[in-house]
Chains A and B, each alone.
Chain A
Amino acid sequence: MLTKEQIARRIAKEVEHGQYINLGIGIPTLVANYIPAHLDVVLQSENGLLGIGPFPKEADVDPDLINAGKQTITMLPGSAIFDSAQSFAMIRGGHVHLTILGAMEVSEHGDIANWKVPGKMVKGMGGAMDLVASAKHIVVAMQHCSKDGQSKLLPTCSLPLTGIRCVKKIVTDLAVLEIDPAGGFVLLERAPGVSVDEINAKTAGKLIVNGEIPEMTFA
């Protein structure tokens, strides 16, 4: 099973030179630490910044400079600041190439649920619905099962949806999977030491296994 850092390291391999990328809160934020240095990419923060830099040193903390997770950040040379309408114009307009976000559930058709547990948790969708409705490529970072062992990769989502038929790829603590346009999770890679049988047992939706499944490698 992968740690959160290892999930982030595997997702970093999805990043391509020249991309503008939006990273969600949680594991997706960690991906920034593992993007290979030879790739030129720009990270977008939906509260109004292109060009997110590393976290500041204590002396450089600026309350007027935060990311979408409300963490203090810095700007890289060449950064641009803009308002929230402009931010989502570039998201909806398809100018952001890659969106990486977390999920509570994903269905075998690429539906995603990540904003609400009725009667229990209501935090709101933030920018997730806009992001999943528009991004060209969506990668989900998540745990394969809930804390009580229930699969989060389902035939259909049970929680309120964030978006439909939008997820392309999923990296969990057990596997890398791709959504088949006809429905199903196509198994691409296994976490080191994890068997196809275990992944099959822990995937409630339809798992598609074609031939030998390699162990994953990391960025």
Chain B
Amino acid sequence: MILKTVKNAEDAVSDISNGAMLMMGGFGLSGIPENCIAALLKKEVQDLTIVSNNAGVDDFGIGLFLQKRMVKKMISSYVGENDEFERQLLSGELEVELVPQGTLAERIRAGGAGIPAFFTPAGVGTEVAMGKEIREFNGKLYLLETGLTADFALVKAWKGDTAGNLIFKGTARNFNPMMATAGKITIAEVEELVPLGSLDPNEIHTPGIYVQRIFQGEKYEKRIEQRTVTTG
């Protein structure tokens, strides 16, 4: 078996440099690669292009990159909940490509699967369709979207083994499995790194072929954006 383990987050991101294009898993703050984010903050790399469904909140997740002006461009579907993001966007400091969430997910899936482009109905008749080829299939209009890949994909899983096989937990799965397939180098951080043979092959979500580096994260804060509870 090919072993993918690296010592820690610092080693895993050591060759990510200025101008890199990164995919980062997570929906809101759930399933984000917290340890890689911390390591990149220390490195203070600049001019990043980041593909991520959201942009974190002001003081956590990708929001921390924005505070340090590390990001040149975001490709996202929803960026509310982040005042600094909105400020940089409206002032023109930050370039943003807003993509419908399903289109974003499929562009990443397609990129990782060797599909250069596909037709989707999402965005027909809106500004998302501007400049894109429109074609009619069975009486309905669709627009052409392209697949996405990145220099690095940073994903977060629940468990992983030393061969890079990954299992996700709950809705922290979200964009992580597709992004794992679409990184030229995919870095997986996991809550629990287990020896070969400890994971049931029937339950693997992401096969290790997609993962180049894996390490166990030092700690996970797992901050909750909207703690909503019932009483009684």
Contact = CB atoms under 8 A, between A and B. Distances in A.
B80 A84 contact: no
Max chain B Cβ within 10 angstroms of own Cβ: one of A46, A83, A89: A83
B116 interface: no
Interface in B85-126: 86, 89-90, 96, 98, 100-106, 108-109, 120-126
B136 to A, nearest CB: 14
A129 B145 CA distance: 14
Interface string B42-53: 000000000001
- The residue in A55, A63, A91 that gathers the most chain B C-beta atoms within 10 A of its C-beta is A63
Interface size bucket, B side? 35 or more
A55 B175 contact: no
Contacts of B30: 47, 63-64, 66, 70
A98 B103 CA distance: 20
B122 A92 contact: yes
B227 to A, nearest CB: 6
A38 interface: no
Given A55-B229, A57-B230, A133-B123, A122 B173 contact: no
A84 B175 contact: yes
Nearest to A125: B100
Contact of B29 (A70, A83, A161): A70
Given A122-B86, A130-B100, A133-B123, A62 B170 contact: yes
A119 B91 CA distance: 10
Given A57-B230, A124-B76, A70 B98 contact: no
B222 A64 contact: yes
B162 interface: no
Contacts of B126: 129, 160-164
Interface in A49-74: 49, 54-58, 61-73
B28 interface: yes
B173 A91 contact: no
Contacts of A71: 226, 228
A88 B230 contact: no
Nearest to A92: B102
Contacts of A78: none
B102 A91 contact: yes
Contacts of B231: 57-58
Contact of A163 (B31, B79, B125, B170): B125
B175 A72 contact: no
Contacts of B169: 64
A92 B170 contact: no
B90 A88 contact: no
Contacts of A81: 168, 170-171, 173
A179 to B, nearest CB: 15
Given A124-B80, A164-B125, A130 B109 contact: no
Nearest to A83: B177
Contacts of A46: 101-102
23 contacts: A47-B27, A55-B229, A57-B229, A57-B230, A63-B224, A64-B171, A64-B172, A66-B171, A66-B224, A70-B30, A70-B225, A72-B224, A83-B174, A84-B105, A85-B178, A122-B79, A124-B77, A125-B77, A125-B100, A126-B100, A127-B101, A133-B122, A162-B126
Interface of A: 45-49, 54-58, 61-73, 81-85, 87-89, 91-92, 111, 119, 121-130, 133-134, 160-165
Interface of B: 27-31, 53, 76-81, 86, 89-90, 96, 98, 100-106, 108-109, 120-128, 158, 168-178, 205, 222-231
Given A48-B27, A64-B170, 11 more contacts: A47-B30, A57-B231, A63-B222, A81-B168, A82-B173, A88-B102, A88-B103, A129-B122, A129-B128, A133-B120, A165-B125
Closest 6 CB pairs of A and B: A88-B102, A130-B102, A164-B125, A64-B170, A123-B80, A129-B100
